[in-house]
Chain A
């Protein structure tokens, strides 16, 4: 049964190894560069949220809301509890 153990653990090791290979081999630079290019060009770095018409897409005014996540209700607001 020690054989089964070695099989299982070499399998786990293989998985860990392939994850680390993928992690190391990912091209972070080009992804960062294309993000930076857009952010630099438009001077806007806000997330491209796929929101309905009544929700703000770029919002930095309302303090109570999360600046980056306007579509997310903060739980210190009462609309989190009561339906509108």
Chain B
């Protein structure tokens, strides 16, 4: 294959002197890997949450007392049903059940399986015969984290809950929810709504909060106002709030991470500046020779520029690929605990790969611009070497 002399010379220099570059590439890899992993994890979580948004209720109505959420009376449901434009008013019953005090807890969620949407969702999980069996007795669906926890504590087929009234309640473990839904279901126990009330010690006329839908988007603000005026202790959360929270979640964790990262980048720049000043000063003779052979300052700058670009490209591709492997193939062990917590049940989620222009360009810019800026001045210093240096 024919290659231009300049290109040939560039390669010759690059691979002959590879020891000089390997150190820089290694530091770059670490930085790119950490940044890439954090951004990949947060964007993947955001993507998955956004996917489930369609299934979430448009409004959640809660009762507050002194800023704390308390159980709402079921009578509210009837009041809400009377407002025009509201549909699918569903009571939600949920709460945490502590396996051992101050240690592990599960999230108990009570579901009315006869409800249209819940029924439809249930059919996505199991077939008809299973469904009939499931609805027959006291059965529960548990997340993967719960199932592992129960198994290690010798409850492979079910668990006996202790209700606040001091009564034991045995519930069969019917099915483990798929690992793919771990992001939201890891510590969940799904039981019929009456059973959940019993386990959580709630009265027959109480619910945790009330979810409702408003099919016409334009009416959201109106309806929110209307509902808020019903009672003095009502608190309404809309889907818009949640959407914005998702958006911020990504920015937030990523943002704080990036601010800390800025410090790292500045250090990186200083290290690079030092290193290149040193590396290049050992090349003075070499460059002086080239200049004596008739290379212009521009030619030397061009040579060094391509050298730098090669390092940037190699490190970028390797670093991003490593981060990809770590996050989306290995599931980001350790680092994911920053995002999902690690104080309760261990959660091994499958993160759906998300790569887009925004993330990749951000990683590239935050790495490449400081890198090239740091190298610029040492490069110039070496490029203007006098030809007479070759003689020294």
Across the interface, name the chain B residue whose C-beta is closest to A65.
B245
**Do the beta carbons of A33 and B253 come within 8 Å of each other?**
no
Question: At the interface, yes or no: B343 with Cβ under 8 Å from chain A?
Answer: yes
Across the interface, name the chain A residue whose C-beta is closest to B143.
A48
**Do the beta carbons of A68 and B245 come within 8 Å of each other?**
yes
**Do the beta carbons of A39 and B340 come within 8 Å of each other?**
no
Of B54, B67, B98, B118, which one neighbours A36 at CB under 8 angstroms? B54
Q: A30-B180, A38-B177, A39-B56 are in contact. Are A69 and B253 (CB under 8 A)?
A: yes
Question: At the interface, yes or no: B211 with Cβ under 8 Å from chain A?
Answer: yes
Q: Which of B151-159, B279-287, B294-302, B349-357 contacts A (4 or more CB under 8 A)?
A: B349-357
Query: Interface code A53-82, partner B: CB below 8 Å = 1, 0 otherwise?
Result: 101011011100011110110110000000
In the complex, what residues of B have CB within 8 A of residue A15's CB? 317-318, 321
Across the interface, name the chain A residue whose C-beta is closest to B213.
A43
How many contacting A-B pairs (Cβ < 8 A)? 207
In the complex, what residues of B have CB within 8 A of residue A40's CB? 55, 117-118, 120-121, 124
Task: Kindly identify, within residues 176 to 199 of chain B, every residue whose CB is under 8 Å from any CB belonging to chain A.
Answer: 177-178, 180-188, 190
List 12 contacting pairs A-B, 8 Å CB cutoff, sorted by A: A19-B320, A22-B328, A40-B55, A41-B125, A43-B117, A45-B242, A47-B49, A50-B187, A50-B342, A50-B345, A68-B246, A69-B245
**Do the beta carbons of B8 and A61 come within 8 Å of each other?**
no
Bound: A41/B51 CA distance, A: 15
**Do the beta carbons of B7 and A2 come within 8 Å of each other?**
yes
Chain B: number of interface residues, binned into ranges: 35 or more
Q: Known contacts A36-B124, A44-B56, A61-B68; can you find 17 more A-B pairs with CB under 8 A?
A: A5-B14, A33-B124, A35-B180, A37-B124, A39-B52, A40-B124, A42-B190, A44-B109, A45-B56, A48-B107, A48-B188, A51-B344, A53-B101, A66-B248, A67-B241, A68-B246, A74-B252
Question: At the interface, yes or no: B145 with Cβ under 8 Å from chain A?
Answer: yes
Q: Which of B73-81, B88-96, B222-230, B267-275 contacts A (4 or more CB under 8 A)?
A: B88-96
In the complex, what residues of A have CB within 8 A of residue B11's CB? 1-2, 4-5
**Do the beta carbons of B53 and A45 come within 8 Å of each other?**
yes
Of B15, B180, B237, which one neighbours A31 at CB under 8 angstroms? B180
**Do the beta carbons of B253 and A72 come within 8 Å of each other?**
yes
Task: Kindly identify, within residues 1 to 24 of chain A, every residue whose CB is under 8 Å from any CB belonging to chain B.
Answer: 1-2, 4-5, 8, 12, 15-16, 19, 22-23
In the complex, what residues of B have CB within 8 A of residue A84's CB? none
Question: At the interface, yes or no: B35 with Cβ under 8 Å from chain A?
Answer: no
**Do the beta carbons of A2 and B186 come within 8 Å of each other?**
no
Across the interface, name the chain B residue whose C-beta is closest to A23.
B353
